[in-house]
Amino acid sequence: MSASPPPRPAPEAVDGPRRTLEVDGVSVTLLGTAHVSRRSAEEVAEAIDGGGFDAVAIELDPARHAALIDHEGFARLDLWQAWKAKKLGMVAVSLALGAFQQRLADQLGIEPGAEMRCAIERAGANGLPLWLIDRDLGVTLRRVVANVPWWQRASLLVGVLGSVVSRQPVDEAEIERLKEGDVLASTFAEFAEDERRVFEPLIAERDRFMAARLRQELARARRRGAPPGSALVVVGAGHLAGLADALARPDPGEAATAEELLRLQRTPAPGAARRLLPWALVALIVVGFGVGFSREQELGWRLLLEWTLINGGLAGLGAALALAHPLTVVATAAAAPFTSLNPMVGAGFVAAGVELALRRPRVGDLEALRRDVTSPRGWWSNRAARALLVFLLATTGSVIGTYLGGFRIVERLLG
Protein backbone atom coordinates (compact mmCIF):
# COMPACT_ATOMS: atom_id res chain seq x y z
CA MET A 1 0.00 0.00 0.00
CA SER A 2 1.55 3.29 -1.10
CA ALA A 3 2.11 5.99 1.45
CA SER A 4 -0.24 8.93 1.31
CA PRO A 5 1.29 12.12 -0.08
CA PRO A 6 2.40 14.68 2.49
CA PRO A 7 -0.04 17.53 3.09
CA ARG A 8 0.58 20.66 1.07
CA PRO A 9 2.09 23.46 3.14
CA ALA A 10 -0.09 26.46 3.88
CA PRO A 11 0.64 29.55 1.82
CA GLU A 12 3.35 31.69 3.38
CA ALA A 13 2.32 34.87 5.11
CA VAL A 14 2.95 38.01 3.10
CA ASP A 15 2.84 41.70 3.89
CA GLY A 16 0.18 42.74 1.37
CA PRO A 17 -3.53 42.68 2.25
CA ARG A 18 -5.14 39.28 1.70
CA ARG A 19 -8.57 37.72 1.72
CA THR A 20 -9.17 33.98 1.66
CA LEU A 21 -12.61 32.63 0.80
CA GLU A 22 -14.19 29.56 -0.72
CA VAL A 23 -15.44 29.90 -4.29
CA ASP A 24 -17.26 26.94 -5.86
CA GLY A 25 -15.49 24.55 -3.50
CA VAL A 26 -12.02 26.03 -4.10
CA SER A 27 -9.99 27.97 -1.54
CA VAL A 28 -9.21 31.29 -3.21
CA THR A 29 -6.66 33.71 -1.75
CA LEU A 30 -6.78 37.28 -3.00
CA LEU A 31 -3.42 39.00 -2.68
CA GLY A 32 -3.58 42.78 -2.91
CA THR A 33 -0.47 44.34 -4.43
CA ALA A 34 0.85 47.82 -5.12
CA HIS A 35 1.70 48.32 -8.78
CA VAL A 36 4.49 50.70 -7.77
CA SER A 37 6.14 48.68 -5.00
CA ARG A 38 9.15 46.39 -5.25
CA ARG A 39 8.04 44.59 -2.09
CA SER A 40 4.83 43.53 -3.84
CA ALA A 41 6.82 41.57 -6.43
CA GLU A 42 8.73 39.86 -3.65
CA GLU A 43 5.48 38.98 -1.86
CA VAL A 44 4.05 37.42 -5.02
CA ALA A 45 7.17 35.26 -5.43
CA GLU A 46 7.04 34.16 -1.78
CA ALA A 47 3.37 33.25 -2.03
CA ILE A 48 3.71 31.18 -5.22
CA ASP A 49 7.00 29.51 -4.30
CA GLY A 50 5.51 28.57 -0.91
CA GLY A 51 3.76 25.72 -2.70
CA GLY A 52 0.31 26.26 -1.27
CA PHE A 53 -1.52 26.99 -4.52
CA ASP A 54 -2.60 24.95 -7.55
CA ALA A 55 -3.33 27.86 -9.90
CA VAL A 56 -2.54 31.57 -10.26
CA ALA A 57 -4.86 34.28 -11.60
CA ILE A 58 -3.62 37.79 -12.37
CA GLU A 59 -5.09 41.22 -13.10
CA LEU A 60 -4.16 41.25 -16.78
CA ASP A 61 -6.01 40.75 -20.06
CA PRO A 62 -4.42 38.85 -22.98
CA ALA A 63 -3.27 42.04 -24.75
CA ARG A 64 -1.53 43.51 -21.70
CA HIS A 65 -0.07 40.09 -20.87
CA ALA A 66 1.43 39.91 -24.36
CA ALA A 67 2.80 43.45 -24.06
CA LEU A 68 4.35 42.66 -20.69
CA ILE A 69 6.24 39.59 -21.86
CA ASP A 70 6.94 40.74 -25.43
CA HIS A 71 9.05 43.90 -25.35
CA GLU A 72 9.29 43.92 -29.14
CA GLY A 73 5.53 43.91 -29.67
CA PHE A 74 5.35 47.59 -30.61
CA ALA A 75 7.95 47.01 -33.32
CA ARG A 76 5.22 45.07 -35.16
CA LEU A 77 2.53 47.71 -34.64
CA ASP A 78 0.87 48.72 -37.93
CA LEU A 79 -0.38 52.27 -37.39
CA TRP A 80 -1.88 52.36 -40.88
CA GLN A 81 -4.13 49.41 -40.04
CA ALA A 82 -4.99 51.03 -36.69
CA TRP A 83 -5.91 54.20 -38.60
CA LYS A 84 -8.17 52.29 -40.99
CA ALA A 85 -9.82 50.54 -38.03
CA LYS A 86 -10.27 53.93 -36.30
CA LYS A 87 -8.30 52.74 -33.27
CA LEU A 88 -5.58 55.40 -33.19
CA GLY A 89 -7.15 57.09 -30.19
CA MET A 90 -7.16 53.86 -28.20
CA VAL A 91 -3.53 53.15 -29.14
CA ALA A 92 -2.50 56.67 -28.11
CA VAL A 93 -4.25 56.59 -24.73
CA SER A 94 -2.93 53.09 -23.99
CA LEU A 95 0.61 54.30 -24.74
CA ALA A 96 0.06 57.41 -22.64
CA LEU A 97 -1.07 55.38 -19.63
CA GLY A 98 1.87 53.02 -20.08
CA ALA A 99 4.21 56.01 -20.21
CA PHE A 100 2.75 57.38 -16.97
CA GLN A 101 3.37 54.05 -15.24
CA GLN A 102 6.89 53.95 -16.68
CA ARG A 103 7.57 57.43 -15.28
CA LEU A 104 6.45 56.21 -11.86
CA ALA A 105 8.66 53.17 -12.23
CA ASP A 106 11.69 55.27 -13.18
CA GLN A 107 11.13 57.49 -10.15
CA LEU A 108 10.77 54.55 -7.77
CA GLY A 109 13.38 52.30 -9.35
CA ILE A 110 11.08 49.40 -10.28
CA GLU A 111 9.92 48.12 -13.65
CA PRO A 112 6.21 48.67 -14.41
CA GLY A 113 4.13 45.55 -13.81
CA ALA A 114 6.95 43.89 -11.85
CA GLU A 115 4.55 42.01 -9.57
CA MET A 116 2.54 40.72 -12.53
CA ARG A 117 5.68 39.71 -14.41
CA CYS A 118 6.86 37.93 -11.27
CA ALA A 119 3.54 36.06 -11.02
CA ILE A 120 3.85 34.96 -14.65
CA GLU A 121 7.43 33.74 -14.18
CA ARG A 122 6.87 31.98 -10.84
CA ALA A 123 3.67 30.29 -12.04
CA GLY A 124 5.57 28.92 -15.03
CA ALA A 125 8.52 27.82 -12.90
CA ASN A 126 6.19 25.95 -10.54
CA GLY A 127 4.14 24.40 -13.34
CA LEU A 128 0.94 26.16 -12.30
CA PRO A 129 -1.82 27.22 -14.71
CA LEU A 130 -2.00 30.98 -15.24
CA TRP A 131 -5.39 32.64 -15.66
CA LEU A 132 -5.79 36.12 -17.19
CA ILE A 133 -8.93 37.51 -15.63
CA ASP A 134 -8.99 41.26 -16.29
CA ARG A 135 -11.11 42.96 -18.93
CA ASP A 136 -9.60 44.18 -22.20
CA LEU A 137 -8.13 47.65 -21.67
CA GLY A 138 -9.71 49.00 -24.85
CA VAL A 139 -13.19 48.02 -23.65
CA THR A 140 -12.52 49.61 -20.26
CA LEU A 141 -11.31 52.87 -21.82
CA ARG A 142 -14.33 53.03 -24.13
CA ARG A 143 -16.61 52.58 -21.15
CA VAL A 144 -14.76 55.35 -19.28
CA VAL A 145 -15.36 57.72 -22.20
CA ALA A 146 -19.00 56.65 -22.41
CA ASN A 147 -19.44 57.31 -18.70
CA VAL A 148 -17.93 60.81 -18.76
CA PRO A 149 -20.13 63.76 -19.87
CA TRP A 150 -19.37 64.82 -23.43
CA TRP A 151 -18.30 68.31 -22.35
CA GLN A 152 -15.64 66.85 -20.03
CA ARG A 153 -14.02 64.38 -22.43
CA ALA A 154 -11.62 66.82 -24.09
CA SER A 155 -10.33 68.14 -20.76
CA LEU A 156 -10.01 64.57 -19.46
CA LEU A 157 -7.93 63.56 -22.49
CA VAL A 158 -5.76 66.68 -22.37
CA GLY A 159 -5.24 66.24 -18.63
CA VAL A 160 -4.13 62.61 -18.97
CA LEU A 161 -1.75 63.48 -21.81
CA GLY A 162 -0.46 66.44 -19.84
CA SER A 163 0.37 64.20 -16.91
CA VAL A 164 2.24 61.91 -19.27
CA VAL A 165 4.51 64.52 -20.86
CA SER A 166 5.11 66.26 -17.53
CA ARG A 167 8.52 65.59 -16.01
CA GLN A 168 7.54 66.75 -12.53
CA PRO A 169 8.15 64.01 -9.93
CA VAL A 170 5.02 62.39 -8.53
CA ASP A 171 4.68 63.59 -4.93
CA GLU A 172 4.82 61.16 -2.01
CA ALA A 173 1.14 61.57 -1.09
CA GLU A 174 0.09 60.50 -4.60
CA ILE A 175 2.48 57.54 -4.53
CA GLU A 176 0.99 56.35 -1.24
CA ARG A 177 -2.48 56.64 -2.74
CA LEU A 178 -1.36 54.63 -5.76
CA LYS A 179 -0.01 51.91 -3.50
CA GLU A 180 -3.47 51.47 -2.02
CA GLY A 181 -5.47 51.90 -5.20
CA ASP A 182 -5.44 51.42 -8.95
CA VAL A 183 -3.08 53.23 -11.32
CA LEU A 184 -5.67 53.56 -14.08
CA ALA A 185 -8.33 54.93 -11.75
CA SER A 186 -5.91 57.33 -10.06
CA THR A 187 -4.69 58.65 -13.40
CA PHE A 188 -8.16 59.37 -14.75
CA ALA A 189 -9.71 60.47 -11.45
CA GLU A 190 -7.19 63.31 -11.17
CA PHE A 191 -8.84 64.99 -14.16
CA ALA A 192 -12.46 63.91 -13.66
CA GLU A 193 -14.78 66.35 -11.98
CA ASP A 194 -16.81 63.44 -10.61
CA GLU A 195 -14.61 60.48 -9.63
CA ARG A 196 -17.66 58.21 -9.45
CA ARG A 197 -17.95 58.36 -13.23
CA VAL A 198 -14.50 56.82 -13.67
CA PHE A 199 -14.76 54.57 -10.60
CA GLU A 200 -17.63 52.55 -12.03
CA PRO A 201 -15.95 51.38 -15.30
CA LEU A 202 -12.38 51.34 -13.95
CA ILE A 203 -12.94 49.63 -10.61
CA ALA A 204 -16.46 48.39 -9.86
CA GLU A 205 -17.12 46.85 -13.28
CA ARG A 206 -13.71 45.24 -13.42
CA ASP A 207 -14.21 43.75 -9.95
CA ARG A 208 -17.38 42.05 -11.17
CA PHE A 209 -15.74 41.08 -14.44
CA MET A 210 -12.73 39.48 -12.74
CA ALA A 211 -15.02 37.57 -10.35
CA ALA A 212 -16.97 36.19 -13.31
CA ARG A 213 -13.78 35.30 -15.19
CA LEU A 214 -12.39 33.49 -12.15
CA ARG A 215 -15.58 31.44 -11.82
CA GLN A 216 -15.36 30.66 -15.51
CA GLU A 217 -11.79 29.36 -15.19
CA LEU A 218 -12.75 27.24 -12.17
CA ALA A 219 -15.66 25.77 -14.16
CA ARG A 220 -13.34 24.93 -17.07
CA ALA A 221 -10.90 23.23 -14.72
CA ARG A 222 -13.73 21.11 -13.28
CA ARG A 223 -14.88 20.08 -16.76
CA ARG A 224 -11.32 18.99 -17.54
CA GLY A 225 -11.36 16.86 -14.41
CA ALA A 226 -8.55 18.82 -12.75
CA PRO A 227 -10.13 21.32 -10.36
CA PRO A 228 -7.56 23.15 -8.22
CA GLY A 229 -7.71 22.78 -4.46
CA SER A 230 -6.56 26.36 -4.01
CA ALA A 231 -5.85 29.38 -6.18
CA LEU A 232 -3.93 32.62 -5.73
CA VAL A 233 -5.40 35.75 -7.29
CA VAL A 234 -2.94 38.65 -7.71
CA VAL A 235 -4.73 41.99 -8.05
CA GLY A 236 -4.10 45.62 -7.17
CA ALA A 237 -5.00 46.44 -3.60
CA GLY A 238 -7.72 48.78 -4.81
CA HIS A 239 -9.64 45.80 -6.22
CA LEU A 240 -9.40 43.59 -3.15
CA ALA A 241 -12.60 44.55 -1.33
CA GLY A 242 -14.79 44.75 -4.45
CA LEU A 243 -13.52 41.47 -5.88
CA ALA A 244 -13.99 39.69 -2.54
CA ASP A 245 -17.53 41.04 -2.33
CA ALA A 246 -18.34 39.88 -5.89
CA LEU A 247 -16.95 36.40 -5.21
CA ALA A 248 -18.82 36.09 -1.92
CA ARG A 249 -22.17 36.43 -3.66
CA PRO A 250 -24.03 33.24 -4.60
CA ASP A 251 -22.96 31.75 -7.94
CA PRO A 252 -25.66 32.72 -10.48
CA GLY A 253 -24.92 29.60 -12.52
CA GLU A 254 -22.71 28.99 -15.53
CA ALA A 255 -25.20 30.26 -18.13
CA ALA A 256 -25.88 33.43 -16.17
CA THR A 257 -22.15 33.92 -15.60
CA ALA A 258 -21.47 33.70 -19.34
CA GLU A 259 -24.25 36.20 -19.99
CA GLU A 260 -22.77 38.53 -17.38
CA LEU A 261 -19.36 38.29 -19.01
CA LEU A 262 -20.79 39.28 -22.37
CA ARG A 263 -22.75 42.12 -20.85
CA LEU A 264 -19.69 43.51 -19.11
CA GLN A 265 -17.56 43.24 -22.21
CA ARG A 266 -20.01 45.07 -24.41
CA THR A 267 -19.59 48.84 -24.55
CA PRO A 268 -22.82 50.38 -23.25
CA ALA A 269 -25.03 51.74 -25.98
CA PRO A 270 -25.45 55.49 -25.64
CA GLY A 271 -28.89 56.78 -24.83
CA ALA A 272 -31.05 58.43 -27.48
CA ALA A 273 -30.16 61.91 -26.24
CA ARG A 274 -26.44 61.18 -26.38
CA ARG A 275 -26.70 59.70 -29.87
CA LEU A 276 -28.67 62.67 -31.18
CA LEU A 277 -26.64 65.41 -29.49
CA PRO A 278 -23.83 65.66 -32.10
CA TRP A 279 -26.37 65.73 -34.93
CA ALA A 280 -28.47 68.31 -33.07
CA LEU A 281 -25.39 70.54 -32.75
CA VAL A 282 -24.68 70.17 -36.47
CA ALA A 283 -28.32 70.96 -37.26
CA LEU A 284 -28.19 74.11 -35.12
CA ILE A 285 -25.03 75.31 -36.88
CA VAL A 286 -26.49 74.65 -40.34
CA VAL A 287 -29.73 76.37 -39.34
CA GLY A 288 -27.62 79.28 -38.10
CA PHE A 289 -26.04 79.60 -41.55
CA GLY A 290 -29.49 79.49 -43.12
CA VAL A 291 -30.84 82.17 -40.80
CA GLY A 292 -27.81 84.35 -41.51
CA PHE A 293 -28.26 84.12 -45.29
CA SER A 294 -32.02 84.72 -44.98
CA ARG A 295 -31.39 87.92 -43.07
CA GLU A 296 -28.58 89.26 -45.18
CA GLN A 297 -26.27 87.56 -47.66
CA GLU A 298 -23.26 89.39 -46.24
CA LEU A 299 -24.09 88.08 -42.74
CA GLY A 300 -24.35 84.54 -44.04
CA TRP A 301 -20.94 84.71 -45.72
CA ARG A 302 -19.44 86.28 -42.58
CA LEU A 303 -20.76 83.39 -40.48
CA LEU A 304 -19.27 80.86 -42.89
CA LEU A 305 -15.93 82.66 -42.93
CA GLU A 306 -15.70 82.89 -39.14
CA TRP A 307 -16.74 79.24 -38.75
CA THR A 308 -14.03 78.22 -41.22
CA LEU A 309 -11.33 80.34 -39.60
CA ILE A 310 -12.16 79.31 -36.02
CA ASN A 311 -12.69 75.60 -36.63
CA GLY A 312 -10.04 75.11 -39.28
CA GLY A 313 -7.59 77.40 -37.50
CA LEU A 314 -7.77 75.57 -34.16
CA ALA A 315 -7.63 72.11 -35.76
CA GLY A 316 -4.65 73.20 -37.87
CA LEU A 317 -3.05 74.71 -34.78
CA GLY A 318 -3.40 71.37 -33.00
CA ALA A 319 -1.64 69.62 -35.88
CA ALA A 320 1.04 72.31 -35.94
CA LEU A 321 1.66 71.95 -32.20
CA ALA A 322 2.28 68.25 -32.85
CA LEU A 323 4.91 69.33 -35.43
CA ALA A 324 2.96 67.68 -38.23
CA HIS A 325 4.12 67.92 -41.84
CA PRO A 326 3.16 71.35 -43.33
CA LEU A 327 0.84 69.61 -45.81
CA THR A 328 -0.83 67.82 -42.89
CA VAL A 329 -1.46 71.16 -41.17
CA VAL A 330 -2.98 72.60 -44.36
CA ALA A 331 -5.12 69.51 -44.99
CA THR A 332 -6.33 69.49 -41.38
CA ALA A 333 -7.28 73.17 -41.45
CA ALA A 334 -9.10 72.68 -44.75
CA ALA A 335 -10.97 69.54 -43.65
CA ALA A 336 -11.98 70.53 -40.11
CA PRO A 337 -14.83 72.94 -41.02
CA PHE A 338 -16.44 70.12 -43.04
CA THR A 339 -15.67 67.16 -40.76
CA SER A 340 -17.09 69.08 -37.81
CA LEU A 341 -20.43 69.03 -39.64
CA ASN A 342 -20.25 65.24 -39.94
CA PRO A 343 -19.95 63.44 -36.55
CA MET A 344 -18.97 60.24 -38.37
CA VAL A 345 -15.57 61.61 -39.48
CA GLY A 346 -13.20 63.62 -37.29
CA ALA A 347 -10.53 66.12 -38.25
CA GLY A 348 -8.01 64.09 -36.27
CA PHE A 349 -8.75 61.08 -38.46
CA VAL A 350 -7.95 63.11 -41.59
CA ALA A 351 -4.85 64.64 -39.99
CA ALA A 352 -3.43 61.27 -38.91
CA GLY A 353 -4.09 59.74 -42.33
CA VAL A 354 -2.25 62.51 -44.16
CA GLU A 355 0.62 62.46 -41.66
CA LEU A 356 1.04 58.69 -41.96
CA ALA A 357 0.96 58.93 -45.76
CA LEU A 358 3.63 61.64 -45.77
CA ARG A 359 5.80 60.31 -42.94
CA ARG A 360 5.53 56.56 -42.57
CA PRO A 361 7.05 55.44 -39.24
CA ARG A 362 10.39 53.69 -39.61
CA VAL A 363 11.21 50.36 -38.00
CA GLY A 364 13.41 52.18 -35.50
CA ASP A 365 10.50 54.44 -34.52
CA LEU A 366 8.33 51.45 -33.68
CA GLU A 367 11.13 49.67 -31.84
CA ALA A 368 11.73 52.75 -29.69
CA LEU A 369 8.05 53.66 -29.31
CA ARG A 370 7.47 52.23 -25.83
CA ARG A 371 10.41 54.10 -24.37
CA ASP A 372 10.10 57.32 -26.39
CA VAL A 373 6.58 58.03 -25.15
CA THR A 374 7.87 58.34 -21.58
CA SER A 375 9.38 61.75 -22.39
CA PRO A 376 7.90 64.90 -23.98
CA ARG A 377 10.68 65.02 -26.57
CA GLY A 378 10.00 61.41 -27.59
CA TRP A 379 6.38 62.14 -28.49
CA TRP A 380 7.51 64.77 -30.98
CA SER A 381 10.69 63.11 -32.32
CA ASN A 382 9.36 59.58 -32.86
CA ARG A 383 7.37 59.42 -36.10
CA ALA A 384 4.94 56.81 -34.78
CA ALA A 385 4.30 58.72 -31.55
CA ARG A 386 4.01 62.01 -33.45
CA ALA A 387 1.32 60.56 -35.74
CA LEU A 388 -0.69 59.66 -32.64
CA LEU A 389 -0.06 63.12 -31.23
CA VAL A 390 -1.24 64.69 -34.48
CA PHE A 391 -4.46 62.71 -34.19
CA LEU A 392 -5.05 63.74 -30.58
CA LEU A 393 -4.17 67.43 -30.84
CA ALA A 394 -5.98 67.95 -34.15
CA THR A 395 -9.06 66.28 -32.68
CA THR A 396 -8.86 68.45 -29.57
CA GLY A 397 -8.47 71.61 -31.65
CA SER A 398 -11.43 70.67 -33.84
CA VAL A 399 -13.66 69.93 -30.85
CA ILE A 400 -12.82 73.27 -29.24
CA GLY A 401 -13.26 75.01 -32.59
CA THR A 402 -16.69 73.45 -33.10
CA TYR A 403 -18.05 74.85 -29.85
CA LEU A 404 -16.34 78.23 -30.16
CA GLY A 405 -17.49 78.52 -33.76
CA GLY A 406 -21.02 77.52 -32.81
CA PHE A 407 -21.13 80.05 -29.99
CA ARG A 408 -19.83 82.72 -32.38
CA ILE A 409 -22.68 82.01 -34.81
CA VAL A 410 -25.24 82.33 -32.02
CA GLU A 411 -23.59 85.52 -30.83
CA ARG A 412 -23.71 87.03 -34.33
CA LEU A 413 -27.36 86.10 -34.82
CA LEU A 414 -28.44 87.43 -31.43
CA GLY A 415 -26.26 90.51 -31.54
Residues 386-414: tens digit of each pLDDT: 998 898 889 889 988 888 988 888 888 88
The predicted pLDDT at position 253 comes to 61
Burial 109-138 (b: 16+ CB within 10 A, else e): ebbbbbbbbbbbebbeeeebbbbbbbbebb
The residues, any chain, with a CB within 8 Å of residue 286's CB and separated by 6 or more, are: 341
pLDDT at 313 over 60: yes
Query: What are the tens digits of pLDDT across the range 93-135?
Result: 777 777 776 776 677 676 767 889 999 999 999 999 999 999 8
pLDDT band of residue 142 (cuts 50, 70, 90) is: confident
Is the confidence at residue 2, as pLDDT, over 50? no
Q: Select from 96, 115, 98 the least CA-distant residue to 179.
A: 115
When pLDDT is averaged across residues 280-292 and rounded to a whole number, the result is 84
The residues facing 132 across adjacent strands are 58
The pairing of strands 26-33 and 18-23 is: antiparallel
Parse the chain into domains and list their residue ranges.
18-265, 272-414
Q: For residues 172-176, give the mean pLDDT.
A: 56
Burial of 300 (0-12, 13-18, 19+ CB in 10 A): middle
Q: Which H or E run contains 172?
A: helix 172-180
Position 8 scores a pLDDT of 35
Interval 177-189: pLDDT, tens: 555 555 555 555 5
Q: What percent of the chain has pLDDT over 70?
A: 71
